Amino acid sequence: MITFATDSNTNDLFLDGYHNIATRTDVQAVLNVVANALRTLQGEIQLDTTIGVPYFETILQIQSPDVSVWEGYMIQEAEKVQGVIRVNEMRSKIENNILSYEMEILTEYGTGTLRG
């Protein structure tokens, strides 16, 4: 697999050392596509409103969010990505009102870790 690389802080495309749009291959390409899929809000894609993670319904508009429900949606969306075999493990935490996660993903190219 090959895909455009994006900056992990800004999600912008960037140029490589040869002034071409940077790309990612194999495990890093799959992780890049998964990261983009997990940033998609459910309902955001007008032609298929079932795509994406229901952030508002699971963590954003709830007094006491159930992180395990959100994790389930995250794993489900990650496993829909071409090249993903399965999510081996997902850990998440809320600290100082910030939700973060780490996901270990088995791809057809090997295993990689995604953090967000």
Report the pLDDT value the prediction gives residue 60, as an integer from 0 to 100: 86
Report the pLDDT value the prediction gives residue 64, as an integer from 0 to 100: 79
CATH number at residue 110: 3.10.450.40
Domain that holds residue 43: 26-115
Query: Using one digit for the tens of pLDDT, what is the confidence trace for 13-49?
Result: 999 999 999 999 999 999 999 999 999 999 999 999 9
Residue 65 has pLDDT above 90, yes or no: no
pTM: 0.90
Q: What angle do CA 30, 69, 53 make, to 5 degrees?
A: 45
Distance CA 18, CA 64 (A): 49
In a domain, 7, yes or no: no
Among 52, 31, 2, 4, CA closest to 105: 31
Report the pLDDT value the prediction gives residue 112, as an integer from 0 to 100: 98
In a domain, 11, yes or no: no
Query: Using one digit for the tens of pLDDT, what is the confidence trace for 71-103?
Result: 999 999 999 999 999 999 999 998 998 899 999
In a domain, 6, yes or no: no
Q: How many separate domains does the chain show?
A: 1
In a domain, 17, yes or no: no
